[in-house]
Amino acid sequence: NLEQSLIDGITSAADETELESLRVSALGKKGAISERMKTLGGMAPEERKTAGAELNALKDKITEALSARKSALQAKTLEARLVTEKVDVTLPARPEAQGSIHPVSQVWEEVVQIWGDLGFSVAEGPHIENDFYNFTALNIPPEHPARQEHDTFYLQPKADGSRMLLRTHTSPVQIRSMLESKPPIRIIAPGRTFRSDSDQTHTPMFHQIEGLVIDEETHLGHLKWALAEFCKAFFEIDDVKMRFRASHFPFTEPSMEIDINCSWEGGQVKIGEGSSWLEILGSGMVHPSVIKAGGLDPERYQGWAFGMGLDRIAMLKYGIPDLRAFFEADLRWLRHYGFRS
Ligand code: PHE
């Protein structure tokens, strides 16, 4: 009979689509039950009463069977998904592209850390400087021959004829620090510097780190000690020989360049051994005119300063041969020389 065949169909429906078409074929507008409902109109009242009641009961049964089967099918689907979509948390992670720390950033951090331990804080200045901070205040007045050595990048002249420039060294931060704070001053200023120069050891943009100490009694002995401590910590050697070579900078008097001893083996430089010398920085006692330009009394204050090439000491410490490669963003180079965080 109809009831039995409908119930059989419903209980054996394999999925929700099949179930839905069964529902339509039974209860839809043209479904078997609906068609029978239509015949009620032509029946005698008594007959209609019993047939109607039977049909309604059948309709309820079928509706119930449909929803029971629907729940069962949904539970089965969920079950299947839970089994197949299970996350295995013990699987190894998928490999992901990972960046690395650029040697300049790495060395920058190391240097800041070491001078931080020695009581120095970090100072900053702008890349675009004016003539006063980059030159004049540093005892390099207009027409001074030292200006020629700096291969300066100038910006377009302003209305008044003055030209801004890209700082050629981090020394302008000396002046800014003196004008901004009161002694004792102990700062380092790592940052970008610019000169119109390019070969295997020069790039138009490079990095320096400036150091400045201003106090009432600080002297050359402090400079020597602090730089020796820095070299030992940075190059991770107990015994680094340093050579203080007389030199000249307009902003320091006396001035000296500092060399450290090293050896060359198979094109590879080793710091702290051997009898070769490598220049790593310029330094000296701050010139009284510079202290004055910094708004301080040179009768009361004195100080020392140094400037070192950050890229250069990175090359030395990590054995990187070509400076230009630092700024070419070649992924193979970065993978080789970069640091994992
Ligand atoms: N500014 C100098 C340079 O760029 C380095 C230096 C800094 C020398 C401080 C002495 C004192 O070469």
CB of 282 within 6 A of ligand 1: the answer is yes
Strand 128-129 and strand 121-122: pairing?
unpaired
Output the residue whose Cα is nearest ligand 1's atom 7: 307
pLDDT of residue 87: 85
What are the pLDDT tens digits along the chain (341 aa)?
Answer: 888 999 999 999 999 999 999 999 999 999 999 899 889 988 999 999 999 999 999 999 999 999 999 999 999 989 988 888 888 889 998 888 888 999 999 999 999 999 999 999 999 999 999 999 999 999 998 888 878 778 899 999 999 999 999 999 999 999 999 999 999 999 999 999 999 988 877 899 999 999 999 999 999 999 999 999 999 999 998 888 899 999 999 999 999 999 988 888 877 788 888 888 889 999 999 999 999 999 999 999 999 999 999 999 999 889 888 888 999 999 999 999 999 87
Question: Which of 169, 212, 252 most suits a substitution to test ligand 1, by most atoms within 8 Å of the C-beta?
Answer: 169
Output the residue whose Cα is nearest ligand 1's atom 6: 307
pLDDT of residue 278: 85
83 vs 271: CA distance, rounded Å? 62
- 111 by Cβ neighbours in 10 Å (0-12 / 13-18 / 19+) ranks as buried
Compute the distance from residue 158 Cα to the ligand 1 centre, in Å: 28
CB of 203 within 6 A of ligand 1: the answer is no
Kindly report whether the peptide bond that precedes residue 321 is cis, defined as omega within 30 degrees of 0. no
260 vs 276: CA distance, rounded Å? 8
CB of 283 within 6 A of ligand 1: the answer is yes
One-letter amino acid at 245 equals: R
pLDDT of residue 84: 87
Local structure of 323: helix, strand or coil: coil
Question: Which of 173, 245, 249 most suits a substitution to test ligand 1, by most atoms within 8 Å of the C-beta?
Answer: 249
pLDDT of residue 169: 96
Instruction: For residue 298, report the phi and psi dihedrals to the nearest 5 degrees.
Output: -70, -15
Q: Where are the beta strands (DSSP E) in 203-298?
A: 205-215, 242-249, 252-265, 268-271, 276-286
CA 14 to each of CA 5, 6, 72, 77, 162: distance values in angstroms, whole numbers, following the listed order: 16, 14, 11, 11, 87
pLDDT of residue 98: 84
Strand 302-309 and strand 121-122: pairing?
unpaired
- In degrees, rounded to 5, the angle at the alpha carbon of residue 41 between the alpha carbons of residues 35 and 43 is 105
Its pTM stands at 0.73
One-letter amino acid at 39 equals: T
pLDDT of residue 185: 98
**Residue in 252, 286, 248, 290 with CA at minimum distance from that of residue 132:** 290
pLDDT of residue 187: 98
